[in-house]
Amino acid sequence: MVSKPGETGPRVRARELGLPLGRFKPGKYNAITDVEGVLVGHTTLIEGSGPLKPGFGPVRTGVTAILPNLGNIFMERMSGGGFVLNGAGEVSGMTQLMEWGLIETPILLTNTMAVGAVSDGVANYLVQRYPGIGDEHDVIIPVVGECDDSWLNDISGRHVRQEHVVAAINAAKSGPVQEGNVGGGTGMVTCDFKGGIGTSSRKLPEVLGGYTLGVLVMSNFGKMHNLRVGGLPVGEVLVEKFKNTPHRGKSYGSIIAVVATDAPLLSHQINRLCKRVGLGIGRVGSYAAHGSGEIVVGFSTANIIPRRTQKMVYKMKILLDQRLDPLYEAVMEATEEAILNAMCMAEPMTGVNDNYSPALPLDEVRRFVDACRPIFASVKKRPHQTSVPASKERPTDEDREGDVTLGAAQPTRVRSAEGIPFPTRPA
């Protein structure tokens, strides 16, 4: 008999548990939609119960759509990039994304066996909206990420259809984002608890550029004993409580993350930002197992690269590489919180063959937090200045050849190419 430890109280986001989630403040919605112009929509499919009958259910899956540039990403493209921490997974369209450094389609998240159908759905949607695709316009390769939800879902039944893709795109909006058992995250599991869709954002102080950064994850990775919640070894304690609850044993799972920011970044800078998402995933307990796919897609909304233009060149605004450190820290924080939001908001779920995925017991997490609260209370919340004050338009470190020492070199005090902005004359 399956043991289902009880849980009381409503589901809440991780921040409401009083967890230490970094030093930067979130945006208004604490979601990827805090980045202006980014929309998110879901289609959720939940049908049937009992034994698995391939092609008939039970169904626990869906589609999540992320639309940059208010959905007008085909004609007005944006700088993009990505990173593969471990490649036992797939994001279709990523080869071209990395080669061109451009995002030109919506980004879709779904289950492994639905990638083809979702890609077809996006292609049909765009061809209907832009009939010149493949003729006056270039062909497209939609960006579609996947995770394996077969523990709870009839994945081989391929229940996601093109109409579900269009519905998710049409439902995309700004504002608060549904989390947990929704969209592509409907059947996902994280550290043997119910996972799914989660999101978070960070707003940098003006002294560090004032930029907004958001992360959305489809979280489906990990084992319970590795789980860390706000740095606390919650998983090691919960293993005993859930020892009689069966869990998936053949798959470690995967995670797909999408990063958006209004910081003016080139493709190589977005690639570097996406690498730091892996650090946030590690904070929650992932070690990127052999069979796991940790894949990250990112884009910047700061520059528009038009599909049609009579110009020979276009001008771009670019953040200096040495100003990236606050964004690196922010994306790590937002990734950790996005994963925890997915777990905190997800309800328990029973799927194929009565496989059961319990929800993260928030009562237990609160108990850990309360025990550590005296420590958290002593932590200063106000971010200290980690970089030289700078406006978005003109940094204060003006070139003054010959009168800057290594110790005073701005904008950093590290010995590196970035720390010495120009050659100094020998004494």
Enumerate the active-site residues.
254, 292, 294
Residue 14's closest CA among 360, 379, 380?
A: 360
State how far the alpha carbon of 299 is from the alpha carbons of 66, 80, 269, in Å: 11, 4, 10
CA-only gyration radius of the chain, Å = 22
Quote the CA–CA distance of 98 and 195 in Å, as a whole number: 28
Angle at 95 between CA 91 and CA 96, to 5 degrees: 115
Give the tokens for residue 261. Answer: 């920011």
3-state helix, strand, coil in the chain (%, to 5): 30, 25, 45
Residue 382's closest CA among 107, 12, 24?
A: 24
Helix axes 267-284, 325-345, angle to 10 degrees: 50
Give the tokens for residue 332. Answer: 């790590």
- 151, 355 contact by CB (below 8 A): yes
